[in-house]
Structure 1
Amino acid sequence: MKILFITKWLPYPPETGNPIRNYNIIRRLAKKHEIWVVSFVDDDTKPEDVKIFKEYCYKLITIPYQEHSALFAPLRAIKLLLSGTPPDLRLNESNLMQQTIQQITKEQEFDIVQIEDSFMAFYHEAVYPHKKTRTVLSLHDIGFHKYNQIYKLEPKLARRFRLWLHSRMLRLWEPNYSQRFSSCITMSELDKQRLIEKNPLLTVESIPNGIDVQTNQPLSKSLSSTQNLLFIGNMDYRPNQDAMYYFCKEIFPEIKKRNGLINLWIVGKNTSADIFALATDSIFVTGRVDDVHPFYEKTHISVIPLRAGGGTRLKILESMALGRPVISTTVGCEGLQVVDGEHLFIADNPEVFVQRIQQLFDDPKLYSRIVTNARDFVETRYSWNGIVNNLEKYYEKL
């Protein structure tokens, strides 16, 4: 098949959710199919990363991305608002991107044109309508659901209103605009149901996120003399910031009272000064790191105390594959077919979080059982090789 991917973020390096998924899918599809990619790149994109990712593509076309403030193009914002389109979508508009898509889809007849995320969906209008071309919208999360949670976390009134308005407009626009595509892909059955409930006319398939179980082999138990907790995430994502404020203020002090040897490691790129300010003699904030594996090696338990968000957590799958038990809120593990007490622990309040952490440290048999079950779970259900095979079969049916 001849497949075109259109994405906001270059899928390399695969450090956060969207690039991780796209990199793993494209790298595997490229072994048997002709893969074209059109991607934005920004000032932080390294030429060597473009060069590395180019090896997996038949053709890679990069478009410079220009960051805009919320006040950018006010007349355009008003026009979109009056048309029922979320005004924030204009922040991803690019004439060069549109022209590039128009040109290559007119000159090349693709079997599949896949656009990544609903905030890029409007580029569907630039795709030339060849008879055999099928268009696919890959929703890494359901925007209207995610923003309905995120706006509640925002302390600044003006931004809170803007996020609230965005969530309300997405609730109508996202399910309706998605109908222009031949098919939609969600990351979980739960997100599939959310989308279909808003528009039963949609064709939707659930193709989950995964983990490379060959590369991510179980680590030996940490030999650290302290008992270490780990949180990994992109730290300019508001739900991740909230998760760390919540954990450091409401959960970690209670753990520390019971166990003075416990430390917390917060690892992730785009770390703000407010997150760095959480650091103490037992809370370590690293910022971006080249390799997360050394931090898994020195820690014992992964914590996912999210209270908002969307999609599915690739870091949960990574922790499970590497042999580190996970304690998560219900929101944090949403969309994954996990069972509380079998594959991980679910804790939706500080008291339960503290109890579960202490249980895992106090009971080596319980710790080992959760680690073994979780590893079996990701090998069976969330291996990228199996997921991409299912995706290929789905493309063939379209």
Structure 2
Amino acid sequence: MGDVLFLAHRVPFPPDRGDKIRSFHLLRHLAGHRRVHLAAFADDSRDIDRPELATVTASRAIVRRGKSRAVAAVQSLVSGRPVSLTAFDDAAMRRAVCEVLAREDIETILVFSSQMAQYLPADTRARVVMDFVDMDSAKFAAYAEAAKGPMRWMLAREARLLARFEAEVAARVDASLFVSAAEAGLFRRTTGAERVQAIENGIDTAHFDPAAGFAPVAADGALIVFTGQMDYRPNIEAVTWFARDILPRVRAAHPEARFAIVGRNPGEAVKALASPHVIVTGEVADVRGWLAAAAVVVAPLKLARGVQNKVLEAMAMARPVAASSAAAEGIDHAGTIAVGATAADLVEAVTMLLSDRAAAAALGCNARARVIARYGWDARLAPLDDLMGLLAQLGEAA
């Protein structure tokens, strides 16, 4: 049987942010059946050489990505292409992909994220599975609705061009994957694509386990925790909303409560939120200590697509979670987390969880049980075997 070429817009290790968590587990799953060749971008110098990937890949072509947003925007306007594509358009990556295809017996190509679909060869005979994860064009359309002036025009343009590209890619590939049934359904309705399937995110419940070995974090008072990549716009908007509109009302009932924003690369807008009752940690070695210390974990995202890893991680750690309706969508959460559509709803949910610790603990226990039963990675990725031709290989081996 032939090999797999795995194209990723970020090196899928370490699995410490949403996209890298999903791509790493996809990669590891495939490596259990086939030789896998990885071609990926590194936007962190530490990702240029990750020796851990040698155990799950037959070869690796890692290209450093340093193109600025301004350059990508200019190239987009000149070429008429989405910024999302010009930002990842790189001659070195094109050469790397061509070399792998010429050198190896590639039977299947898995493309992770729409940015990498531009590297698909026009005449390939390989089976192609496209993991869009989320419908990025819909995300930019939502951004455009909330923007004003030139930025509104730019975001609307991005949504329009990216939607056209997504539909063209879906028409070429053998299967298009999304992280939730809702996202897959939206894509079908919008594009008319037929070979569309949901493969949900999972969670490593042995790693995210309150009984696992990790360094504890000391917490004074009631700690409310948010985790995420803090240069990601929806996360910035979420913590800003919580710190300004929700936390003061929670502290009216619980003046000891503090809010911890835990995640790498906080920009000036996030750092400006820091105060005696708002902690901005920056990058931490292990998020589990902060989750374990949380009286409540919050996910107040106004814009969220698919399954939120931050919510699954908190659930797996048996923490009580208060999430926005957007953050909870796509997760089988009934009876396991508190959900609110408005600031008032989230104030009520967080206040209740801080006031009734027994109920909060019970909710956390139910959440962990749900994650164990529903979101193990092996179960979530099982449908991938048929799509990638892995079941045929297993049958021949038998």
Compute the TM-score of the two structures, normalised by the length of structure 1: 0.90
Measure how far apart 1:152 and its partner are.
4.2
- For 1:334 and 1:318, locate their aligned partners in 2 and report how far apart those are by CA, in whole Å: 15
Query: 1:150, 1:238 within 8 Å by CA — same for their partners in 2?
Result: no
Measure how far apart 1:303 and its partner are.
0.4
Query: 2:250, 2:347 within 8 Å by CA — same for their partners in 1?
Result: yes
Give the match for residue 191 of structure 1.
Answer: 183
Point out where structure 2 has 5 or more consecutive residues left out of the alignment: 393-398
Measure how far apart 1:322 and its partner are.
0.6
Q: Alpha carbons of 1:351 and 1:139: their partners in 2 closer, same or farther (altered >3 Å)?
A: same
Which deviates more, 274-283 or 358-367?
Answer: 358-367
- For 1:329 and 1:351, locate their aligned partners in 2 and report how far apart those are by CA, in whole Å: 11
Q: Alpha carbons of 1:321 and 1:235: their partners in 2 closer, same or farther (altered >3 Å)?
A: same
Query: Quick check: 1:39 aligned with 2:11?
Result: no
Give the match for residue 90 of structure 1.
Answer: 86
- For 1:144 and 1:309, locate their aligned partners in 2 and report how far apart those are by CA, in whole Å: 13
Give the match for residue 111 of structure 1.
Answer: 107
Query: 2:45, 2:64 within 8 Å by CA — same for their partners in 1?
Result: no
Q: Write out per-residue CA displacement over residues 133-176 of structure 1, whole angstroms, 9 at most, x where no aligned residue.
A: 21011012101111122234557x43343122111222333223
- For 2:329 and 2:66, locate their aligned partners in 1 and report how far apart those are by CA, in whole Å: 33
- Counterparts of 1:358-373 in structure 2 under 5 Å? 358-373=351-366
Give the match for residue 159 of structure 1.
Answer: 151
- For 2:83 and 2:314, locate their aligned partners in 1 and report how far apart those are by CA, in whole Å: 37
- For 1:91 and 1:29, locate their aligned partners in 2 and report how far apart those are by CA, in whole Å: 28
- For 1:43 and 1:242, locate their aligned partners in 2 and report how far apart those are by CA, in whole Å: 24
Query: 1:330, 1:347 within 8 Å by CA — same for their partners in 2?
Result: yes
Measure how far apart 1:17 and its partner are.
1.0
Tell me the amino acid that sits aligned with residue 31 of structure 2: A
Measure how far apart 1:364 and its partner are.
3.3
Q: Alpha carbons of 1:112 and 1:216: their partners in 2 closer, same or farther (altered >3 Å)?
A: same
Query: Quick check: 1:139 aligned with 2:132?
Result: yes
Tell me the amino acid that sits aligned with residue 351 of structure 1: A
Give the match for residue 56 of structure 1.
Answer: 56
- For 1:154 and 1:73, locate their aligned partners in 2 and report how far apart those are by CA, in whole Å: 17
- For 1:127 and 1:264, locate their aligned partners in 2 and report how far apart those are by CA, in whole Å: 50
Tell me the amino acid that sits aligned with residue 12 of structure 1: F
- SS, match of residue 98 in structure 1: helix
Q: Alpha carbons of 1:378 and 1:73: their partners in 2 closer, same or farther (altered >3 Å)?
A: closer
Give the match for residue 15 of structure 2.
Answer: 14
Query: 1:30, 1:56 within 8 Å by CA — same for their partners in 2?
Result: yes
Query: 1:241, 1:275 within 8 Å by CA — same for their partners in 2?
Result: yes
Measure how far apart 1:202 and its partner are.
2.9
Give the match for residue 385 of structure 1.
Answer: 378
Give the match for residue 250 of structure 1.
Answer: 245
Query: 1:80, 1:87 within 8 Å by CA — same for their partners in 2?
Result: no
Which deviates more, 111-120 or 25-34?
Answer: 25-34
Q: Write out per-residue CA displacement over residues 300-334 of structure 1, whole angstroms, 9 at most, x where no aligned residue.
A: 21101111132321011000001111111111122
Query: 1:213, 1:321 within 8 Å by CA — same for their partners in 2?
Result: yes
- For 2:316 and 2:157, locate their aligned partners in 1 and report how far apart those are by CA, in whole Å: 39
Give the match for residue 69 of structure 1.
Answer: 69
Query: 2:187, 2:193 within 8 Å by CA — same for their partners in 1?
Result: no
Tell me the amino acid that sits aligned with residue 240 of structure 2: Y
- SS, match of residue 45 in structure 1: helix
Q: Alpha carbons of 1:356 and 1:63: their partners in 2 closer, same or farther (altered >3 Å)?
A: same
Query: 1:328, 1:347 within 8 Å by CA — same for their partners in 2?
Result: yes
- How many residues are paired up? 387
Measure how far apart 1:25 and its partner are.
2.2
Measure how far apart 1:395 and its partner are.
2.0
Q: Alpha carbons of 1:35 and 1:116: their partners in 2 closer, same or farther (altered >3 Å)?
A: same
Measure how far apart 1:118 and its partner are.
1.1
Query: Quick check: 1:174 aligned with 2:175?
Result: no
Aligned with 1:348 (options 341, 344, 351): 341
Measure how far apart 1:201 and its partner are.
3.5
Which deviates more, 311-320 or 58-67?
Answer: 58-67
Q: Alpha carbons of 1:91 and 1:360: their partners in 2 closer, same or farther (altered >3 Å)?
A: same
Query: Quick check: 1:228 aligned with 2:223?
Result: yes
RMSD after superposition? 2.3
- Counterparts of 1:289-328 in structure 2 under 5 Å? 289-328=284-323
Tell me the amino acid that sits aligned with residue 270 of structure 1: N
Q: Alpha carbons of 1:388 and 1:308: their partners in 2 closer, same or farther (altered >3 Å)?
A: same
Point out where structure 1 has 5 or more consecutive residues left out of the alignment: none
Measure how far apart 1:208 and its partner are.
0.5
Query: 2:72, 2:83 within 8 Å by CA — same for their partners in 1?
Result: no
Compute the TM-score of the two structures, normalised by the length of structure 2: 0.90
Measure how far apart 1:29 and its partner are.
2.9
Measure how far apart 1:203 and its partner are.
0.3
Query: 1:145, 1:310 within 8 Å by CA — same for their partners in 2?
Result: no
